[in-house]
Amino acid sequence: MNNVLLVALREYRQITRMRSFWLTLLILPIAFALAPLTQRFMGDSDPDRVMIVDQAAFGAGRQITERLRLDEDRRAMSDLARYVERHKLAAPADEPWSRNDRWFSDAEVQRFGAEGGVTAALARLKPAMPADIPEFERPEPRFEIVTPPADFSRLQGPALDQRLETLLRPGEGSKAEPIDVVVIIPADFIRTGTARLSSSGRPNTQFVAIVQDVLTRSLRQVLLSAEGVSPDVATAAATVTPNLLIAQPVPGSGAREALLVRSILPLASCYLLMMALMLSGSWMLQGTIEERSNKLLETVLATISPEQLMYGKLLGTVAVGLTMIAVWIGCGAFAAFATQGAIADLIRPALAPLTSWTTIAAMIYFFIAGYLAISVFFLAVGAISDSMNDAQGYLMPIILAILLPITILIQGIVDGGKGIGVTIMTWVPIWTPFAVLARLGTGIQAWEVIGSGLLLAAFVALQMLLLGRLFRASLLAQGQKPGLKELAARLGRRSAEAG
The phi and psi torsions of 102 (rounded to 5 degrees) equal -160, 160
What's the pLDDT score for residue 497? 43
The phi and psi torsions of 43 (rounded to 5 degrees) equal -75, 160
What's this model's pTM, rounded to 2 decimal places? Answer: 0.57
Q: For residue 56, give Cα distances in angstroms to 59, 137, 189, 195.
A: 7, 39, 7, 10
Mean of pLDDT values over 85-99: 79
Q: Quick check: 98 and 90 in contact, CB under 8 A?
A: no
pLDDT at residue 308 above 50?
Answer: yes
Mean of pLDDT values over 24-45: 67
Mean pLDDT of the chain: 76
Q: For residue 124, give Cα distances in angstroms to 23, 81, 91, 143.
A: 50, 14, 8, 28
61-65, 330-334, 380-384, 392-396: which range is least confident on average?
Answer: 330-334
| Spatial separation of the C-alpha atoms in residues 204 and 141, rounded to whole Å | 14
pLDDT at residue 46 above 80?
Answer: no
Per-residue burial over 211-239, b = 16 or more CB atoms within 10 Å of its CB, e = otherwise: beebbebbbebbebbeeeeeeeebbeebe
Q: What is the number of H-type helices and E-type strands within the chain? A: 21, 4
Mean of pLDDT values over 421-445: 82
What's the pLDDT score for residue 247? 46
35-49, 121-135, 230-244, 431-445: which range is least confident on average?
Answer: 230-244
| Spatial separation of the C-alpha atoms in residues 7 and 18, rounded to whole Å | 17
The bridge status of strand 196-199 relative to strand 181-185 is: antiparallel
Helix, strand, coil share of the chain (percent; to 5) = 70, 5, 25
Partner residues linked to 144 by β-bridges: 49
| Spatial separation of the C-alpha atoms in residues 112 and 130, rounded to whole Å | 24
pLDDT, one tens digit per residue, over 99-144 is: 766 678 888 888 888 888 888 888 888 887 887 777 888 888 888 8
pLDDT range class, residue 458, cuts 50, 70, 90? very high
Angle at 367 between CA 363 and CA 373, to 5 degrees: 145
Helix residue ranges, H only, 169-302: 189-192, 205-226, 231-239, 255-262, 264-293, 296-300
Highest mean pLDDT among 226-230, 231-235, 372-376, 466-470: 372-376
Mean of pLDDT values over 177-183: 87
Percent of the chain with pLDDT over 70: 75
Estimate the crossing angle of helix 432-439 against helix 357-384, to 10 degrees.
160
Partner residues linked to 51 by β-bridges: 146, 182
What's the pLDDT score for residue 457? 92
Residue 332 vs residue 77, higher pLDDT: 77
pLDDT, one tens digit per residue, over 206-220 is: 888 888 888 888 888
Q: Quick check: 487 and 470 in contact, CB under 8 A?
A: yes
Q: Quick check: 474 and 490 in contact, CB under 8 A?
A: yes
Residue 288 vs residue 314, higher pLDDT: 314
Percent of the chain with pLDDT over 90: 2
Partner residues linked to 163 by β-bridges: none
Estimate the crossing angle of helix 306-338 against helix 357-384, to 10 degrees.
130
pLDDT at residue 396 above 60?
Answer: yes
**Sign of the torsion formed by the C-alpha atoms of 92, 96, 97 and 98:** positive
